[in-house]
Amino acid sequence: MTKQYAVGLMSGTSVDGIDAALVTIEGSGTNTKVELVHFVTTSFSPDLKERIFQAMSENQSTSALICSLNFELGEVFANAVKQVCKEAHIPLDKLSFIGSHGQTIYHQPFQTKDTFPSTLQIGEPSIIAYHTKTKVVSNFRSMDMAAGGEGAPLVPYSDYLLYRSNSHGRALQNIGGIGNVTVLPKKPSLQNVFAFDTGPGNMVIDGLCERLQGIPFDKGGMIASKGMVHDTLAQNWLEWESDFFNKTPPKSTGREMFGEVFVNKIIQENHHLANEDLIATATYLTALSIANAYKKFVFPTHDIYEVIVAGGGSFNRTLLHWLRELLPHQEVKVQEDIGFSSEAKEAVAFALLANETLNGNPGNVPNATGASEPVILGSITPCPVKK
Ligand X SMILES: Nc1ncnc2c1ncn2[C@@H]1O[C@H](COP(=O)(O)OP(=O)(O)OP(=O)(O)O)[C@@H](O)[C@H]1O
Ligand Y SMILES: CC(=O)N[C@H]1[C@@H]2OC[C@@H](O2)[C@@H](O)[C@@H]1O[C@H](C)C(=O)O
Question: Which residues belong to the annotated binding site for ATP?
Answer: 12-19
Query: Closer to ligand X at the Cβ: 96 or 252?
Result: 252
Query: Closer to ligand X at the Cβ: 135 or 144?
Result: 144
Site size toward ligand Y, by CB under 6 A: 17
Q: List residues bridging with 23 in a β-sheet.
A: 6, 36
- Helical ranges in 248-331 per DSSP H: 255-258, 260-269, 275-297, 317-326
Question: Which of 13, 202, 283, 367 is close enough to bind ligand Y by CB under 6 A?
Answer: 13
Interaction mask 132-171, ligand Y, x per CB under 6 A: --------------------xxxx----------------
Closest contact distance (angstroms) between CB of 379 and ligand Y is 16
Residues 6+ apart with CB under 8 A from 152: 107, 109, 119, 141, 144, 180, 197, 252, 369
Query: Closer to ligand X at the Cβ: 32 or 103?
Result: 103
Closest contact distance (angstroms) between CB of 180 and ligand Y is 4
Sign of CA dihedral 154, 158, 163, 164: positive
- Show contacts with ligand Y in window 38-77 (CB under 6 A): none
Pick what 197 binds: ligand Y, ligand X, none; C-beta below 5 to 8 Å, kind-dependent.
ligand Y
The residue whose Cβ lies closest to ligand X is 312
| Cβ atoms of residues 310 and 333 within 8 Å | no
SS3 state at 140: coil
Task: Identify the helix (H) or strand (E) that includes residue 82.
Answer: helix 63-87
Closest contact distance (angstroms) between CB of 182 and ligand X is 12
- Show contacts with ligand Y in window 236-295 (CB under 6 A): 252, 254
Annotated binding site: 12-19
Closest contact distance (angstroms) between CB of 201 and ligand X is 5
Four-point Cα dihedral 322, 327, 157, 146, nearest 10: -80
- Show contacts with ligand Y in window 174-193 (CB under 6 A): 176-178, 180
Comparing CA positions, the residue from 134, 101, 91 lying closest to residue 9 is 101
| Cβ atoms of residues 133 and 92 within 8 Å | yes
Query: Closer to ligand Y at the Cβ: 6 or 273?
Result: 6
Residue 17 backbone class (left: φ over 0; alpha: ψ -120 to 50; beta: rest): left
| Cβ atoms of residues 104 and 13 within 8 Å | yes
Closest contact distance (angstroms) between CB of 129 and ligand X is 23
Closest contact distance (angstroms) between CB of 25 and ligand Y is 18
Chain residues that interact with ligand X, rule: CB under 6 A: 10, 12-14, 16, 174, 176-178, 201-202, 206, 217-221, 311-313, 315-316, 346
Four-point Cα dihedral 365, 254, 249, 328, nearest 10: 100
Judged by the rule CB under 6 A, the positions of this chain that interact with ligand Y are 12-13, 104, 107, 119, 152-155, 176-178, 180, 197, 252, 254, 346
